[in-house]
């Protein structure tokens, strides 16, 4: 009898990849494609099963074809288009708490296209296994999907000769929190000014979509909701402590008109600015 034993070299436990599969989709171009630049707060993996087309990232376009793996990191504006003569068909994975580094010279907030033709069989096996699990939804399918995802990510790293690596989720979160902190401080200092989502997006170097999601996690409010809250808080303080008219307070706190100020104030506080001031004075007198 022959007996071969193979032992693990690792003395400790291997850390799990801290990533969450949000969804998986299978898509095919059928002539009704709406191609619009967009970004996500999560990473997307596109694997082209068949066809040819283009990926647009920022102002640049790149050709994609069968067996190409496209990695789009969070907050990277992109879109895809298909050639009608050779319709694109692909599988997309949306993955939270994960971003990739493509080498020391390349930015974390970027993308990469890899040729996975030599690894087509195993790559499609894992992707189709994911699709099957999430369609059937058998016992513990979420656990199985997460395990398959981890295997797939490790295989990706192997097949790119380790030029592809996983960025620290803690480092990435700190970076996002820093940018959100910058936006919050800007709003706190400049709430009297005309602040738009486009302006805050430029300040934070995030897409509007990603900024809204990140800022919501950071403060509990969207950027514009936080701006309105800040203005309302300041207007309440002025109504309590100053003799400014409602129109003056509206202007001081950055509202476009007294009527809009009164409308927003009543929606947020439950009473009009004039009623709030009156009630405050009655309460102070008692």
pLDDT < 50 stretches in the chain: 107-108
Taking the C-alpha atoms of residue 74 and residue 148, their distance in angstroms, rounded to an integer, is: 21
For the stretch 201-230, pLDDT in tens is: 888 877 787 788 889 888 999 999 999 999
Cβ-based neighbours of 234, under 8 Å, separated by 6 or more? 191, 252, 253
pTM score of the predicted model:
0.65
Q: Which residues pair with 71 in a beta bridge?
A: 45, 112
Q: Phi and psi (nearest 5°) for 71?
A: -110, 120
C-beta neighbour count of 129 within 10 angstroms: 15
Q: What is the pLDDT of residue 107?
A: 47
* CA distance to 9, 22, 114, per residue, from 97 (Å): 29, 10, 22
Q: Nearest-5° angle of CA 273, CA 277, CA 278?
A: 115
Structural domains of the chain in order of their starting residue, each with its CATH number: 20-166 (2.60.120.280), 171-285 (1.10.10.60)
Which pLDDT does position 59 carry in this prediction? Answer: 74
Rounded to whole angstroms, how far apart are CA atoms 229 and 236?
Answer: 11
* pLDDT (0 to 100) of residue 17: 80
């Amino acid at each position: 009898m022959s007996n071969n034993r193979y032992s693990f070299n690792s003395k400790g436990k291997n850390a799990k990849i801290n990533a969450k599969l949000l969804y998986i989709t299978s898509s095919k171009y059928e002539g009704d494609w709406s191609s619009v630049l967009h970004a996500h707060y999560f990473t997307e993996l596109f694997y082209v099963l068949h066809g040819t087309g283009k990926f647009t990232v920022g102002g640049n376009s790149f050709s994609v074809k069968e067996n190409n793996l496209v990695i789009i990191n969070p907050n990277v504006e992109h879109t895809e288009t298909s050639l009608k003569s050779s319709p694109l068909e692909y599988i997309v994975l949306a993955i939270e708490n994960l971003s990739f580094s493509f080498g020391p010279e390349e930015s974390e907030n970027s993308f990469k296209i890899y040729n996975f033709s030599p690894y087509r069989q195993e790559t499609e096996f894992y992707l189709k296994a994911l699709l099957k699990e999430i369609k059937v939804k058998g016992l513990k399918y979420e656990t199985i999907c997460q395990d398959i995802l981890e295997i797939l990510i490790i295989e990706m790293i192997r097949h790119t000769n380790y030029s592809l690596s996983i960025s620290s989720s803690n480092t990435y979160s700190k970076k996002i929190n820093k940018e959100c902190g910058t936006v919050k401080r800007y709003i706190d200092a400049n709430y009297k000014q005309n602040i738009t989502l486009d302006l805050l997006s430029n300040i934070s170097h995030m897409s509007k979509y990603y900024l809204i999601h990140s800022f919501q996690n950071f403060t509990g409010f969207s950027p514009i909701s936080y701006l309105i809250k800040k203005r309302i808080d300041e207007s309440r303080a002025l109504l309590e402590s100053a003799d400014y008219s409602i129109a003056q307070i509206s202007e001081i706190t950055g509202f476009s008109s007294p009527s809009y100020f009164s409308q927003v104030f009543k929606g947020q506080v439950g009473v009009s600015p004039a009623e709030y001031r009156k009630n405050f004075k009655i309460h102070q007198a008692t």
